[in-house]
Structure 1
Amino acid sequence: MTGAAQGVQSRTTSRDEQAAAVLRTLELEAMLFGRQLEPALRHTSDHDRLDRSAYALLTRLQVQGPMSIGELSDAFSLDVSTVNRQAGAVLHAGLVERIPDPDGGMARKFRLTTEGRRRLDDERESNLRGLALVVGSWTTEDVDALATLMRRLNLEIEDRRGRRWPRP
């Protein structure tokens, strides 16, 4: 191998190693973010908190409207028994109700109750207060950059899975 070819190979290997190191850092930070976000947002106990699965399920129903167990299972890429258990918990808590399919289908659907909407709104407001505390010393531009990059990352993941989360 000539000196020039060795130099190109060395630069390529160095770039590959740098890219691998950046991905390792991203993977670690994503794991830590997922682990630390919920406790960081729970800065007060000003109301009964929703667990993560209830929050996601109620948010999906708020954005998309009534959904059946099968539709929720598809939306979350979870098996029907898992979604059935999660939906049963929020149904028992009075946060959703079962209704006939508004489009005339056979499957009954879940929709938010007034209490479910109120609890979801309370949870979201509490989360926003917690986030404001966490990024309180950041510039608006930095917060916007993080939000933009997180949206981009989520959209890439959703596209790879073939399922976009409906956004308002």
Structure 2
Amino acid sequence: MRRDKELALIEREMMLLSRHQVLATARTSSGPDSLERSAYTLLSRIETEGPLTIGQLAEAFGLDTSTVNRQTAAMLRSGLVERIPDPDGGMARKLQITAEGLRRLRQDRDWSIEGLSRVVTDWTADDLAAFAEALERFNRDIEKLQGRPWPRT
């Protein structure tokens, strides 16, 4: 029984966390340089793995290629990514993050980290480490079930 109670508490807190993330995203979207949530996530993946094709991005996120194509087209128009020949000699062109894309990604990440810092201002280093470890384990277990691991440095 306790497991059911704990799972219900986790579900509720995840719902609330999602709500807070949406509010944070809405606040960032008011600035002229802020990234859309999908652009932030796609750019983060390209930053971690290097240039990727639209197909590779679609597979990584479990999305339809047409969805990723629309999202990356907007990123191309905004100068966040550029198309390059496949460095490995493949036929498909890859998307590479531009200096502007990297600048805006880092700007949004810094804003997000600053917001997190304000939330956990009274937490100890041990509290932060334990939370980070549990959150990473949780995400890795989701990724394992989905068969789509997120590359970590």
Does TM, scored on the shorter chain, surpass 0.5? yes
Q: How does 1:41-52 map to 2 (within 5 A)?
A: 42=27, 48-52=33-37
Contact 1:40/1:131, CA 8 A, preserved across alignment: no
Which one has a bigger Cα radius of gyration?
A: 1
Partner of 1:64: 49
SS of the aligned residue for 1:97 comes to strand
Cα pair distance change 1:43/1:83, threshold 3 Å: closer
2:142 is aligned, of 147, 157, 168, to 157
- Calculate the aligned-residue CA RMSD, in Å: 1.8
SS of the aligned residue for 1:132 comes to helix
Using the TM superposition, give the Cα deviation of residue 71 of structure 1 relative to its aligned residue in structure 2, in angstroms: 0.3
Distance 1:53 1:18 in 2: 37
Using the TM superposition, give the Cα deviation of residue 46 of structure 1 relative to its aligned residue in structure 2, in angstroms: 6.6
Partner of 1:39: 23
Aligned length: 152
TM-score by length of 1: 0.84
Deviation per CA, 1:100-149: give whole Å up to 9, x if none.
11111111110001100111111111111111011112122111111110
Partner of 1:5: none
Cα pair distance change 1:125/1:70, threshold 3 Å: same
**Is 1:118 matched up with 2:118?**
no
Partner of 1:82: 67
Distance 1:78 1:46 in 2: 28
Q: Which segments of 5 or more consecutive residues in structure 2 lack a partner in the other structure?
A: none
Cα pair distance change 1:57/1:27, threshold 3 Å: same
Which runs of at least 4 in structure 1 moved beyond 2 Å after TM superposition?
A: 37-48
Deviation per CA, 1:22-70: give whole Å up to 9, x if none.
1111111112112202534758967621121100000000010000010
Distance 1:48 1:117 in 2: 12
1:27 is aligned, of 1, 4, 11, to 11
Contact 1:40/1:134, CA 8 A, preserved across alignment: no
Deviation per CA, 1:80-109: give whole Å up to 9, x if none.
011111111111110000111111111111
